[in-house]
């Protein structure tokens, strides 16, 4: 057996950590979490001035495992390993990078599958609906715990971008740069519609049991599979899907005239659905899609996004991708316009990328080149 090897530019072997907080957390819904755990990972070293911390916020199905791999499982590479590492655009030789999970997750932080201290049983359906604002508030506790008064930057794509933006609004003094990628300031009716179909798929699964399926020893797999298949369609562009799968048939010379898999794309979606249903928690999925639906910082300012962004003191980098139809470039431009109206320090790049929403995970040289240049100019 070969000794574990660290590929160049990798942060190498990493370990997930958990921070426990016993002080209750009041949520936007009014509910109170009496205590909570937050899972996280760190890469690089916090400098003496504690000024080089960068918070990486993750999207729907990812986790705090941002970079590197776990001992004994080299294949489980962090989801943003192409961005984070020594010599990479977010250079861990210069920055102390924190990948933070959020509450309600199924990856180690307190969530629906955790034990409710009031009952001694899993929270299940009783776990409160959490919001982006709640996540940021919980992450602020983690920052306190790690002795980080202000982040050099908060960065994220998609739902992670909402957190990076919300950090600048909830804690204007605590984040110096906010890097908002493949984002939207609010979901459209179409976005919410897709989320609702996904939720309905889960909640109508006979194995859902109103969210208390843990006690029954079952998982609403069928619902989760369909939810994931729907989500996946929205992450890819029509062109990307056509380019990857076209109308290729799966191991057949012609149509089967039945309801088995005919096309490669069907096989791909089923595979993605199966994989997802094997590791993701249905109650978490319901809550995360609600957090997406509810996020709308302008709502409290009569729909005026510029007014909502007024308190931010961070400098902003907004990044969008031309083929992203889930959160289109028009949504990012709304954010940019609001930032300009309030005279923020802001840059905006519109990456010509074919992949769709998921382009934020790719290592397109212009996209990563821009992030590298931006990070290099962040003063510590």
Partner 1 sequence: MTADQQALLAARPDLAAIARWVEPQARVLDLGCGDGALLRYLWEAKHAPGYGIEIDAEQVVECLRNDVNVLQMDLESGLSTFRDGSFDCVVLSETLQAIHRTEQLMREMLRVGHEAIVSFPNFGHWQARLQVALGRMPVSAALPYHWYDTPNVHLCTLQDFEDFCRTLGVRVLERLVLHAGRSVNLMPNLLGSVAVYRLGRAAPSAKAH
Q: Does 333 bind partner 1 (CB under 8 A)?
A: yes
H/E segment holding residue 346: strand 346-351
Q: Using CB under 8 A, which of the segments 2-10, 116-124, 275-283, 369-377 binds partner 1?
A: 369-377
Q: Does 352 bind partner 1 (CB under 8 A)?
A: yes
Q: Which of 115, 301, 373, 380 binds partner 1 (CB under 8 A)?
A: 373
Q: Which of 37, 126, 274, 350 binds partner 1 (CB under 8 A)?
A: 350
Q: Does 248 bind partner 1 (CB under 8 A)?
A: no
Q: Does 87 bind partner 1 (CB under 8 A)?
A: no
Give me the phi and psi of 141, to 5 degrees please.
-65, -40
- C-alpha–C-alpha distance, residues 48 and 37, integer Å: 27
Which are the contacts of 340, defined by CB distance < 8 A and separation ≥ 6?
Answer: 346
Q: Which of 336, 357, 358, 359 binds partner 1 (CB under 8 A)?
A: 336
- C-alpha–C-alpha distance, residues 153 and 151, integer Å: 5
Pair 97, 90: CB distance under 8 Å: yes
The residues annotated with a catalytic role in the active site are 158, 324, 357
Which are the contacts of 234, defined by CB distance < 8 A and separation ≥ 6?
Answer: 194, 325, 326, 357
For the chain, state the CA radius of gyration. 21
- With CB under 8 A as the rule, give the number of residues binding partner 1: 21
Q: Does 26 bind partner 1 (CB under 8 A)?
A: no
Q: Does 340 bind partner 1 (CB under 8 A)?
A: yes
Q: Does 347 bind partner 1 (CB under 8 A)?
A: yes
Q: Does 345 bind partner 1 (CB under 8 A)?
A: yes
Residue 236 or 336: the one with the smaller Cβ distance to partner 1 is 336
Which residues 303-322 are close enough to bind partner 1 by CB under 8 A?
317
**DSSP conformation class of 2:** P
HSE toward the beta carbon, residue 137, CA cutoff 13 A: 14
Beta pairing, strands 25-26 & 32-33: antiparallel
Q: Which of 348, 357, 358, 359 binds partner 1 (CB under 8 A)?
A: 348
Which residue ranges make up the site for partner 1 (CB under 8 A)? 317, 333, 336-337, 340-341, 345-352, 366, 369-370, 373-374, 376-377
């Amino acid at each position: 057996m070969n000794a574990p090897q660290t590929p160049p530019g990798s942060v190498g072997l990493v370990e997930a950590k958990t921070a426990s907080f016993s002080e209750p957390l009041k949520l936007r819904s009014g509910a109170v979490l009496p205590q909570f755990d937050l899972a996280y990972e760190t890469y690089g070293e916090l400098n003496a001035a504690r000024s080089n911390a960068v918070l990486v916020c993750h999207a729907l199905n990812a986790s705090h495992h941002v970079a590197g791999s776990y001992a004994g499982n080299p294949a489980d590479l962090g989801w943003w390993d192409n961005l984070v590492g020594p010599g990479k655009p977010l250079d861990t030789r210069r920055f102390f990078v924190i990948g933070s999970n959020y509450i309600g997750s199924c990856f180690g932080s307190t969530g629906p599958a955790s034990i409710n201290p009031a009952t001694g049983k899993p929270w299940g359906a009783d776990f409160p609906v959490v919001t982006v604002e709640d996540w940021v508030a919980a992450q602020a506790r983690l920052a306190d715990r790690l002795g980080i008064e202000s982040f050099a930057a908060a960065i994220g794509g998609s739902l992670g971008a909402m957190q990076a933006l919300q950090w600048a609004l909830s804690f204007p003094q605590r984040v110096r740069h906010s890097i908002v990628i493949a984002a939207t300031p609010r979901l459209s009716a179409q976005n919410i519609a897709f989320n609702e179909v996904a939720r309905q798929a889960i909640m109508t699964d006979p194995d859902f049991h109103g969210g208390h399926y843990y006690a029954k020893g079952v998982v609403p797999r069928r619902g989760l599979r369909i939810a994931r298949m729907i989500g996946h369609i929205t992450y890819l562009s029509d062109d990307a899907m056509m380019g990857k799968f076209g109308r290729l048939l799966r191991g057949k010379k012609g149509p089967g005239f039945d309801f088995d898999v005919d096309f490669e794309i069907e096989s791909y979606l089923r595979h993605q659905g199966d994989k997802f249903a094997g590791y993701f928690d249905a109650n978490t999925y319901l809550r995360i899609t609600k957090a997406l639906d509810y996020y709308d910082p302008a709502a409290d300012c009569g729909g005026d996004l510029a007014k909502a962004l007024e308190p931010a003191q961070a400098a902003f980098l907004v990044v969008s991708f031309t083929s992203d139809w889930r959160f289109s470039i028009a949504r990012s431009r709304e954010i940019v316009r609001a930032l300009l109206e309030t005279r923020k320090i802001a840059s905006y790049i519109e990456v010509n990328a074919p992949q769709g929403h998921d382009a934020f995970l790719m290592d397109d040289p212009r996209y990563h080149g821009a992030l590298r240049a931006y990070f290099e100019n962040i003063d510590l």
